[in-house]
A and B are shown apart, each in its own frame.
Chain A
Amino acid sequence: MTATDAHRTINAVFRIESPRLIAGLTRIVRDVGLAEELAQDALVAALERWPESGVPDNPGAWLMATAKHRAIDLLRRGKRVERKHEELGHEIELQQETAAPDLEAAIDDDVGDDLLRLVFISCHPVLSTEARVALTLRLLGGLTTEEIARAFLVPEPTVAQRIVRAKRTLAEARVPFEVPRGAELAERLSSVLQVIYLVFNEGYAATAGDDWMRPALCEDALRLGRILAELVPQEPEVHGLVALMEIQASRLRARTGPSGEPILLLDQNRARWDHVLIRRGLAALARAEALGGARGPYALQAAIAACHARAHTAEETDWARIAALYGALVQLMPSPVVELNRAVAVSMAFGPAAGLEVADALLSEPSLQGYHLLPSVRGDLLAKLGCFDEARAELERAASLTRNARERALLLERAAACARGSATS
């Protein structure tokens, strides 16, 4: 094994092992920053040792044992005692654990709980959203600072600083390493879900960009979601979010044409959708529904995505159901963008006049004043109703509002078709 091979292997091992390593160590030293340092130390030890000795049969246990020995050394030397009084109390616990004959079993006992605590600490409300995202990817996704920086197109020092500050904030706020209970659990869980979905969308929105790293971000988010679903299997919204991400990810391949141009959902080649992911998404949605979570915001969005996923052709889409689901969604999280989507669904289900009625109600909405999709949708519906002059004006207005050249060209084409008195170009 060459040194480079060994390093690659060690990185892979570390990616797999580091979340449980950091989680387990945080339980012992009660400081996520210190836990990560100890885990990093163990990694350095592995980098020194493994290229010569070979990777041990159970690398996770090796790393954990090494990290624990260092934790003991550190506590014995008392270097950090002043900074962290409570560690002294843990020393006894720590020694007992290390004395246990089956170290791995002792670690595994709590690993689920430890990981879950780590999820909640990484997404803690004392941290800014950016910090939560960076810390979650770092501690739970096992991504390097460099990978996170590349994924979010920010300089590496910025990410590094964000993570350092986040860990300091958690230590200073003495955030307990625990799973919240009762009403707090729901609130904190929604912050966790938000972080994961944010990561997913960052990757999903960037698939047309020139950075191929970003679809990997979708996969990281999906894996985090799936891990969370196993950690808290009774929470319907977790399954709702996983369902939404699986189904959306199933379309990644079909969303761009040969020259990178975006292909809208209804025009996509459905054979290119990933049916393994669709099946997984539908199963996750069924799990959310079975737990009574059909009306949760993620489950509702997943249900809409599922309507598209179930349709073998665009024509088979169950638009009445989609319109109803948007209706429920808009009740739950009122948003003019959601309402505009409902207008489209209503028009597909019940005709352009019904859709236009919904869209017209949004005309006075201040947040949509500069949003090109409102005149674009209205233009479409007006054209379908044969009001070509009004349609043309709306499409031209939409063209003037969009910042995307390709889309502008398309809108102007449609406007020209309206001028010729036809709904299609």
Chain B
Amino acid sequence: MKFMILVKANKDSESGALPREELMTAMVRYNEELVKAGVLLAGEGLHPSSKGARVRFSGDKRTVIDGPFAETKELVAGFWLWDVGSREEAIEWVKRMPNPAGEESEIEIRQVFSAEDFAPSDPTGELRAAEERMRAQTGQKP
């Protein structure tokens, strides 16, 4: 199952300061571990909210609000997308992460919707499985 790991902003990330070399090295090493475990799908860091914008919806009206935004700790500074076996596994991986903000920081773990959340049960699933095993030989699949 997929999880999105959200790194919350702090004063440093909002100031646009780049992370210290030490932290960068630790993060690179950590990312390597994730890759070697087949867990890491994607990940990006975000520019500070001062470069961002919000569009507020009110009925048919749209209002553009330029950053920076208040409530720093509610802002997202970066994300990873992981493929792990369980929520607990995601938590375990997060616990191994170098502290991204030095002292106080928070990482949020959110599950991504996936096929099994949508796929309702199919009484003829068994037949279809046999059918698709045939197709599987060819790489041409529905």
Residues of A within 8 A of B (CB): 8-9, 11-13, 15-16, 59, 112, 142, 201, 204-210, 212, 215-216, 219-220, 222-227, 230, 244, 248, 251-253, 255-256, 258-265, 268, 276-277, 280, 300-302, 304-305, 329, 335, 337-338, 341, 344, 371, 373, 403-407
Contacts and interface: CB of A to CB of B under 8 A. Distances in A.
Given A15-B85, A227-B38, A248-B139, 19 more contacts: A16-B92, A201-B136, A209-B122, A209-B129, A210-B121, A212-B116, A222-B38, A223-B39, A226-B38, A230-B35, A251-B141, A251-B142, A256-B115, A268-B142, A280-B42, A300-B139, A338-B137, A341-B138, A407-B131
Given A230-B35, A341-B138, A404 B133 contact: no
Given A204-B136, A209-B126, A403-B130, A227 B36 contact: yes
B83 A223 contact: yes
B114 A215 contact: yes
A215 B121 contact: no
B103 to A, nearest CB: 18
Contacts of B129: 205-206, 208-209
Interface in B27-43: 35-39, 41-42
Given A8-B88, A338-B137, A263 B119 contact: no
B141 to A, nearest CB: 6
B93 interface: yes
B98 to A, nearest CB: 13
B83 A252 contact: no
B83 A260 contact: no
Contact of B88 (A9, A256, A260, A407): A9
A338 B142 contact: no
B134 interface: yes
A216 B114 CA distance: 10
B137 A205 contact: no
Nearest to B116: A212
B136 A219 contact: no
Given A216-B85, A265-B140, A337-B138, A280 B36 contact: no
B124 interface: yes
B83 A222 contact: yes
- Name, among B115, B125, B142, the residue most crowded by chain A CB atoms within 10 Å (CB to CB): B115
Contact of B83 (A219, A335, A373): A219
B88 A11 contact: yes
Contacts of A8: 86, 88
A101 B88 CA distance: 31
- Name, among B81, B88, B119, the residue most crowded by chain A CB atoms within 10 Å (CB to CB): B119
A310 to B, nearest CB: 15
A280 B39 CA distance: 13
B5 to A, nearest CB: 14
B38 A252 contact: no
A261 B81 CA distance: 29
B66 interface: no
A335 B119 CA distance: 32
Nearest to B139: A301
Contact of B128 (A15, A248, A329, A404): A404
Contacts of B139: 244, 248, 300-302, 304-305, 329
A201 B133 contact: yes
B1 interface: yes
A262 B137 contact: no
A127 to B, nearest CB: 22
A201 B128 CA distance: 13
B89 interface: yes
Contacts of B88: 8-9, 11-12
A304 B89 CA distance: 34
A403 B42 contact: no
A280 B86 CA distance: 22
B3 to A, nearest CB: 12
A220 B115 contact: no
B124 A405 contact: yes
Contacts of A212: 116, 119
Nearest to A219: B83
Contact of A224 (B38, B86, B114, B138): B38
A406 B42 contact: no
Nearest to A9: B88
B114 A262 contact: no
B118 interface: yes
A227 B37 contact: yes
Contact of B36 (A230, A329, A335): A230
